[in-house]
Amino acid sequence: MKRRIAVVIALLAGLAGLAVMGTSFTLIGASPPGKAANTRKTIFTEQSLSRGAYLARAGNCMGCHTAQSGPAYAGGRSLSTPFGTFITTNITPDKETGIGRWSEEDFWKALHEGKSRDGRPLYPAFPYTEYTKITREDSDSIFAHLQTLAPVAQRNAPSQIKFPYDYQLLLSVWRAVYFKPGVYQPEPGKSAEWNRGAYLVQGLGHCNACHAERNPLGATAGDDALGGGQIMGSNWYAPSLTSGLEAGFAHWRIDEIVQLLTTGVSPQATTSGPMAQVVMESLQHLTKEDARAMAIYLQSLPESNSLSLIKGPAMTEQVQAWFRQGAAIYEKHCQDCHGASGQGAPGVYPPLAGSRSVTMTPPINAIRSVLNGGYPPATMGNPRPYGMPPFAQTLHDGEVALVLSYIRNAWGNHASLVTTAQVDKSREGITLK
Amino acid sequence: MRRLILATLLFSAGLANAVEAVSAAAPVEVPDTMAERVKPCVACHGLEDKVGRDAYYPRIAGKPKGYLFNQLRSFRDGLRYYQPMTLLLANMTDQYLLEMAAYFSGLKQPFPPPERMAASSAQIKLARQLINQGDPARQIPACIQCHGNELMGTAPFIPGLLGLPRIYMIAQFGAWRNGGLIRGQTADCMSEIAKQLTTEETNAVAAWLAAQPIPENSGPAGTLPVEMARRCGSIVQSATVQ
């Protein structure tokens, strides 16, 4: 016990040190816990209800607050992180187990301040670090919509948070250091469309929750980092949305960004894994205007890397021999769809030549695609997608490594070699989502 | 200024060339067919020598549409546990899965040759007994009652049992026994039957079924006996095929 306390004290001291150094040290106005709920009855207009439904989609609340094949919004989905396993909560209006007794003020506090109804600070597995940018009006609309759902009686399972992160004091210090509440403030020099896009990307869309690297304490670098990172507890890498080497959009056409976001496919890239789910459940439902606004904002992000930085391996005889073996596997299993020159069929079978999904430094997404295959999401804009067969059952780890190393260095592509060990590690990840 | 413009033009042309070099080859031509769209399925469930390293994958061509649709939906939603299928079908709509089910249901494919009989004569006798008569004492119905006299299934929800790998069937018996393939739909149906059967019995039945030749011009039976429809009601009623 003594040791546990010592560890907590050490961590607190470390955090306090960070806080002093940090410029964003903000103490959150503490409200007394258990404050009487606002019982004021609100009459929701139909307009605000349908707006709320739309915004809940755009924020993809359902994505986390629904267990696989469970009732919508009733919670129960596990989010595994280095800090423990968080179980999402029931946000249907059930009075006993959901948020039926909440007021719009309570809801606002959760979104904006990251605090539960009883005043307890929430863990940032709930992305209030992003949702804090949502306006009060939008928060109220989402709440109004959630209150119209059919109540589902499903008790919240307790999260299993690891020591020492289960100490609430530690969480409060974390919040003081890394969390700055504040509604999105439009940038005066930018167009209304750009600002709308920024609001959606930074706030409601909470893109940063995945597309940013987290430090060992689970914090991202800031409002619009979007620098890419491995998704917590999953074997997927969320590519950087600023890097020219990954998924930066600086050189994309606006209509193709919109197409990718709302249909899941585009001539240059196809969504897969967690992003396919985001497109399926959230982004495909955006209005044309909002999708375009997001595209305009994403395209405007300053590029952090350029393509000329990528280097392939030195072409030793050994490497050339590996590429010949990789090419033979490619010809047998991949060429039918992706073409002899990796040209693919844009929008159907993704081109591999010049594809950043193929060449970006962490190869885990490419490995997963080969092992597990998959379809892009069946969206309204692409209801009958073509798909990729899984090869986990037919190719050995070594063969997957050879063919990927070849693809990453063929037809003008340059990237590091993929090792058998990397493939093997991804196989373990097949059980993860 | 002129030189700058010229340099810019040349540079852009160079870039354009580089881009072109990458995408010079004409795009792969993709037929707009279901056959093309289900390529990921036939990697394992196909005709040719594509049964993976373990010969585990079941045949799906010609199985009843409702059965296939139920399985696809259950795999997608994690109600039938097989992670490779769940990953493959994530983010598919019911509508599209139904279209896939209809495609495979209507697909005519020659059956593989029967497996060599991996059962003793005593086991064969046991298997025949269970398949044709069941065991009324334990309330185990005959297989043919639901799966059809020819064991080729019953439209639209009950699968055929012939032409499947023995080890696949043994694995499915195990899955039924351990809580059911389709959680929540199995309370009164196959999982109860599987729990009644001994390992020796399931092994015998699987071995016998895998060794049977396929009757000519056969397909799923038309209707389920009333009694069995009642017993397996959850499967028959809850599945809605639009």
The domains located in chain B, with CATH, are: 34-238 (1.10.760.10)
Share of chain B above pLDDT 70, in %: 78
Q: How far apart are CA B37 and CA A388, in angstroms?
A: 9
> Given 3-state DSSP classes, what are the helix, strand and coil percentages for chain B, each rounded to the nearest 5?
50, 0, 45
Q: Flag if B23 and A68 touch (Cβ within 8 Å).
A: no
Q: Flag if A276 and B91 touch (Cβ within 8 Å).
A: yes
Which ranges of chain A have pLDDT less than 50? Answer: 1, 7-8, 11-41, 431-433
- CB contacts of B27 in chain A (<8 Å) are 339, 343-346
Element (H, E) at A427: helix A420-428
pLDDT for res B7: 46
pLDDT for res A414: 94
B18 to chain A: nearest residue by CA? A412
Q: Flag if B30 and A384 touch (Cβ within 8 Å).
A: no
CA distances from B127 to A306, B134, B204, B208 (A): 67, 9, 5, 6
Q: How far apart are CA B65 and CA B156, in angstroms?
A: 6
B94 to chain A: nearest residue by CA? A378
**In which band, very low, low, confident or very high, does the pLDDT at B226 lie, cut at 50, 70 and 90?**
confident
Q: How far apart are CA B124 and CA B129, in angstroms?
A: 9
pLDDT in tens, B177-212: 886 566 555 556 888 898 899 999 999 999 999 999
Would you say residue B13 has pLDDT above 60?
Answer: no
What are the residues of chain B with a beta carbon less than 8 Å away from any beta carbon of chain A? 18-19, 21-30, 36-37, 39-44, 50, 52-54, 77-79, 83-84, 87-93, 95-96, 99
Would you say residue B127 has pLDDT above 90?
Answer: yes
To 5 degrees, how large is the angle CA A67–CA B93–CA B97?
A: 115
pLDDT for res A40: 44
- CB contacts of A392 in chain B (<8 Å) are 84
Q: Which of B30, B54, B89 sits opposite A349 (nearest CB)?
A: B30
Check CB contact of A371 with chain B, cutoff 8 Å: no
B46 to chain A: nearest residue by CA? A389
Q: Tell me what ipTM this predicted complex has.
A: 0.86
Q: Flag if A389 and B87 touch (Cβ within 8 Å).
A: no
Check CB contact of A432 with chain B, cutoff 8 Å: no
**In which band, very low, low, confident or very high, does the pLDDT at B113 lie, cut at 50, 70 and 90?**
confident
pLDDT for res B179: 67
pLDDT for res B220: 86
pLDDT for res B53: 39
Q: Flag if A390 and B88 touch (Cβ within 8 Å).
A: yes
pLDDT for res A431: 43
pLDDT for res B177: 84
Check if the beta carbon of residue B163 is closer than 8 Å to that of residue B152. no
pLDDT for res B50: 44
pLDDT for res B188: 60
pLDDT for res A3: 52
Residue B227 or residue B181, greater confidence = B227
- CB contacts of A332 in chain B (<8 Å) are none
CA distance A375 to chain B (A): 6
